[in-house]
Amino acid sequence: MNNKYSEDEFLLLSEPAAVDHHFMAGNYAGYKWLVSILFFLHLISLPANYKVMVQIQGIPGWIGLAVWGGLWWFRKREFTKHHIYLLLKFVIFFAYISMLCEDPKLWAEISAFRLTLAFTFPCLLIFFRLKYADSVFLMVVFYAINVFDILVPYQPKSILRLWILLVVYTCILAITLGLTKRKKKVFLKRWRKEVKKNRDRLRMKQELEKAREIQLAMLPKTLPVADRYELSGRSLPATEVGGDYYDLFNLDEHGFTLVVGDVSGHGLGSGLVLSGVRAGLLLLLDEVLSPRQVLYRLNRMLKGTTDNKTFMTMVCAQFQLTESRMEMVVSNAGHLPIIHYHTENNRMDEVRQPALPLGMRQDITYHELRVSLKKGDVLIFYSDGLSEARDAMDIEYGEKRFQELLARELQQDVGAECLLEAILADFNAFSTGTLQQDDITLVIVKIK
């Protein structure tokens, strides 16, 4: 059976769900072996029983073989919850065609075979761990089928045979239920021990996954489509909770404010810092402050609420895109330079503004830079998790490779989303076989 749960997910199941999953996995393994054995036994015995089978209401012997062959062919597929029910369907099928037999001589010839089935299939329940109600239901069905077989035609010893069969079936059911109860007890003892041993780790994992969901909800769910610009962005955390962040504010047809940041380190601590920074940004940008004023106030907030080892790089850029003025007003707090592609002369340069990151000192003066833009220009914002990544040979991805890739792609006048996908595809090909060591954030802005 397909393993629907990881080890941790399995330990987080309720007790009834864990027992059901454990027993069904064992049932499925036993079912595959059983179907294979019965299929090949039927195949081997078919020549000897062909005469009998071909005379049952004109139904040829290969029908039985086809049934077993179908069960064997699909034995690896989880197409029913209780696989033992497939065996029940075949029993009912065989009983049905046996009931149609009109030749008393032929009925007598297959009586030994029917008697074998009467005891074989109930005994198989001993090897399957079903729910109590399922086991009782199947045993009642088996008994009902054989009641008809014994009573038609009625004989003086039929009642005695029914009582004997009832006693045998009751014993088989008692053994089956007893084994199921014992195995359930043994499994739950082992499962509870594992849950207790891993409780703290599983609780922490759940909390981290919840924190990841909250952090991912902070990122823009959809990027706007406007006549004057095109946007695309991704943020890929290295662990459950990352330290990278980007967001868009004050969006309209004529511009927007873009913020890209990177908290030192990554993990839960960085995620908590990001939550505070984002709350501060939402308040500050409502005041229509300039980029340098936003960074100045965020720096004071971060310095006053975190320890001396916590800092954050950030770039804040306001885009004004009107008919009379197309420019970017940007202020940088220790973040990587912005790459600016000029479509007019097919040139790339970097928008550099050396400054200390947020949280390094209480009073830091940040400066602004105005960058003129033209239609077709592209601006690339990214974090150091991209350029500083290393492959399996410990070779750095590097600024040179990154800019060479950009130069190739930008010459083809690709859109923002296509450019972002090309960068990530090249990065994934480079880092194949290695774990992501740092958070990666990439935002593309294309002027239209």
Burial of 412 (C-beta count, 10 Å sphere; 0-12/13-18/19+): exposed
User: Residue 83, SS3?
Assistant: coil
pLDDT of 388-410, one tens digit each? 888 888 899 999 999 999 999 99
- pLDDT value for 4: 64
Determine the Cα–Cα distance for residues 122 and 139; give it in Å rounded to an integer. Answer: 7
pLDDT average, residue stretch 428-436: 85
- The answer to whether residue 58 scores a pLDDT higher than 50 is no
- DSSP per-residue codes, 349-397: EEE----PPBTS-S------EEEE--TT-EEEEE-HHHHT-B-TT--B-
204-247 pLDDT, tens digit per residue, is 777 777 777 776 677 787 787 788 899 999 988 877 677 788 99
Q: Flag the least confident range among 96-105, 179-188, 193-202, 416-425.
A: 96-105
What DSSP letter does each residue of 1-15 carry, written as one string?
----S-HHHHHTS-H
CA–CA separation, 439 vs 214, rounded Å?
A: 16
pLDDT beyond 70 at 105: no
pTM of the entire structure?
0.60
**Using the 8-state DSSP alphabet, how is residue 309 labeled?**
T
SS3 call for 71:
helix
DSSP designation for 334: B
Query: Quick check: 325 pLDDT over 50?
Result: yes
- Is 70 exceeded by the pLDDT of residue 299? yes
- CB-based contact 339:379 (threshold 8 Å): yes
Please report which confidence band the pLDDT of residue 374 belongs to, taking 50, 70 and 90 as the band edges: very high
pLDDT tens digits for range 268-286: 777 778 878 888 888 887 7
Mean pLDDT in residue range 22-35: 76
pLDDT value, residue 94: 54
User: Is residue 56 very low, low, confident or very high in pLDDT (cuts 50, 70, 90)?
Assistant: very low
Which residue's structure tokens are 């810092």? 273
Could you tell me which residue, 134 or 218, shows the higher pLDDT?
134
Q: Which residue did the predictor score with more confidence, 113 or 344?
A: 344
**In the chain, pLDDT over 70 holds for what percent of residues?**
78
pLDDT at 109: 55
Nearest to 172 by CA among 135, 133, 131: 135
Structural domains for the chain: 7-195 (no CATH), 219-447 (3.60.40.10)
Pairing state of beta strands 312-321 and 347-351? unpaired
| Lowest pLDDT segment from 22-31, 110-119, 278-287 | 110-119
Confidence of residue 264 (pLDDT cuts 50, 70, 90): confident
Asked whether residue 18 carries a pLDDT value surpassing 80, the answer given is yes
Among 375, 373, 395, 396, which Cα is nearest to 384's?
A: 396
Tokens of 276: 């505070």
- Please, which pLDDT band fits residue 448 given cuts at 50, 70 and 90? confident
Q: Before 153, cis peptide (omega within 30)? A: yes
